[in-house]
Structure formats: C-alpha cells, structure tokens
Amino acid sequence: MTKTYVQSWHLFLVLLFLSFSTFSQEETGNWLMYFGTNRVSDKFSVHTEIQYRNHTVIPNNVEQLLLRTGLNYHFSNKAFVTAG
C-alpha cells in the first residue's frame, strides 16, 4: 500500500467518525429537494425549485415548503441570468 492510500483511508475514517459523533439537533429530520432547468428555446429556459423541509422522521405535517421559479436568459453556454 502506498502512503497516499493509507492517508486517504485514515482521513475517510476520521470524517466517518465525526459524522456519527457530532449532532446539532436532538431530533432527526429530512430535506427533500428538486432543482430543474428546462430549455424553452435557444436563449430562454425555466428554473424550478422545490424544497420540503421536515424535522421529524415521518412527514406528518409540512414544516417548511419552498417553491421557486425563474426565467433564465442565456448569453452563452457558460453565462446566464435568472429573474424570478
């Protein structure tokens, strides 16, 4: 085994241990998210975003629901602006 492999393995174990040993809340919960961008034409697309945040394991009530939409204008393949 190489030294880099052993160091990577040790780092993985430390991060795994920290993820189980540190908790910021007493209760568990979940965040379910959807992000989408759908092209309408060469220059325009529609951005949609849904975030459902619940602080219990079984989603028996909606604690926070975010719905966002936006219209994107594409200047090029690497640059666009969103209004919404």
Q: Global pTM?
A: 0.57
Domain positions in the chain are 25-83
pLDDT at 40: 95
Q: Assess contact for 64 and 37: CB atoms under 8 A.
A: no
CA distances (Å), 72 to each of 25, 44, 49, in order? 37, 6, 13
How many other C-beta atoms can be found within 10 angstroms of the C-beta atom of residue 55?
14
Across the chain, which has 84 residues, the per-10-residue mean pLDDT values are 68 70 60 91 94 73 84 94 92
